[in-house]
Amino acid sequence: MKNFLLVFLGGGIGSGFRYLLSLYLNSHKTGIPYGTFLANIIGSFLIGLILGWVAKNTHISHQYTLILAVGFCGGFTTFSTFAYENHVLLRSGDLFNFALYTLGSLVVGFLAVFFGMFLVR
């Protein structure tokens, strides 16, 4: 039950921060949803840092991984919103921004994880 509460707490905080970021940056109804994009990239970078740090420091409690990586990063990032926003771009016929958002999110997201892990080596 303690582990569940740690994930719940971290996820709530992460979701709250994602909401604020999206509220501020996704105010335009057309084009790339920059708030979601930024949340997913920052979250990818953070999970790379966190899991790289945990892998390097084996004495770190599993509970830190739960609250930070599973909870916070899991709540902060969002695949479902990313998928929905791509659906909206496709329905509006905005194929350029759809391709840019999708490919950019995947490529930059992967690079952010690798860069985060690289930094803690």
Query: Which tens digits make up the pLDDT trace of 39-53?
Result: 999 999 999 999 999
Q: How far apart are CA 110 and CA 17, in angstroms?
A: 21
Cβ contact 81:36 at 8 Å: yes
Residue 74 CB partners (closer than 8 Å, separation 6+): 7, 10, 11, 14
Q: Is the pLDDT of residue 26 over 90?
A: no
Name the nearest CA neighbour of 97 among 45, 28, 15. Answer: 28
Give the model's pLDDT for residue 13: 98
Total domains in the fold of the chain: 1
Classify each residue of 60-81 as buried b or exposed e, where b means 16 or more C-beta atoms within 10 Å of its C-beta.
eeeeebbbbbbbbbbbbbbeeb
If DSSP codes are grouped into helix, strand and coil, which group holds residue 63?
helix
pLDDT digits (tens, 9 = 90+) for 70-121: 999 999 999 999 999 999 999 999 999 999 999 999 999 999 999 999 999 8
Model pTM above 0.85: yes
* Banded pLDDT at 30 (limits 50, 70, 90): low
Q: Which domain holds residue 71?
A: 2-119
Residue 114 CB partners (closer than 8 Å, separation 6+): 48
